Amino acid sequence: MKEYDTYIFDLDGTLLNTLNDLKTSTNHAMRYAGLPEHSTEDVRRFVGNGVKKLIERAVPGGCSHPQFNEILAEFKRHYSLHSMDTTRPYTGIEEMLSALSHQGKHLAVVSNKFYDATRQLCLHFFGQSISVAIGERESIRKKPAPDTVLEAFRQLGVTADNAVYVGDSEVDIQTARNCNIPCISVLWGFRDRDFLLANGAETLIEKPEDLLAW
């Protein structure tokens, strides 16, 4: 098996189980606007392309809804206050990150979650292991464009050589492809095996400790 020097991780569905808090904030924003609420499975399908796309998928009429910007702002306000109510690392994640860090690997998080929430969550849960955390912001294109991963390489002081992207979604597979690096797809996240394989996954792992075998 190939040994990698640099690991770029997705956040939601890969390192952290954020689904319940995302659903709670989404439904808070729906109630705020008097709109129908969504199930956990709905929100699971909606996530992956950033919070604007999440709310676009949740709101009837999407961006054309007259209250769209107001609903998005209310989601962000609520989520900023409640992003850690039930969110926790998946079992084995902290141990896996610690092991990679002690092996001298370069570790970063690249997420389509908005920038402040990405930084806050990574600092709170992984402050000792993750030094570079990049979220969505207006000045840089989000995944699946390669820009945020390339920015992570720059901040880490590394190149794409011996780098791998680890994620749970089709967006992560596309992002790795656009960066010309391999992707390891995880099976404990927001997408199942059949979906990932149908979207081009080549390497899948079932638990975080499997990553250490690489």
For residue 214, what pLDDT is reported? 66
Q: What is the spatial distance between Cα 5 and Cα 3, in angstroms, rounded to a whole number?
A: 7
pLDDT higher than 90, residue 2:
no
For residue 71, what pLDDT is reported? 97
**Helices 68-82/51-58 angle, 10° precision:** 120
pLDDT higher than 90, residue 213:
no
Q: What is the spatial distance between Cα 206 and Cα 211, in angstroms, rounded to a whole number?
A: 9
* Residue pLDDT, tens place only, 144-174: 999 999 999 999 999 999 999 999 999 999 9
pLDDT higher than 90, residue 37:
yes
For residue 1, what pLDDT is reported? 59
3-state SS track over 25-76: HHHHHHHHCCCCCCCHHHHHHHCCCCHHHHHHHHCCCHHHCCCHHHHHHHHH
* Residue pLDDT, tens place only, 62-107: 999 999 999 999 999 999 999 999 999 999 999 999 999 999 999 9
Mean pLDDT of the region 114-123? 93
Q: 120: phi > 0 → left, psi -120 to 50 → alpha, else beta; which?
A: alpha
Bond into 144 cis (ω within 30): yes
Mean pLDDT of the region 14-22? 97
Mean pLDDT of the region 193-206? 96
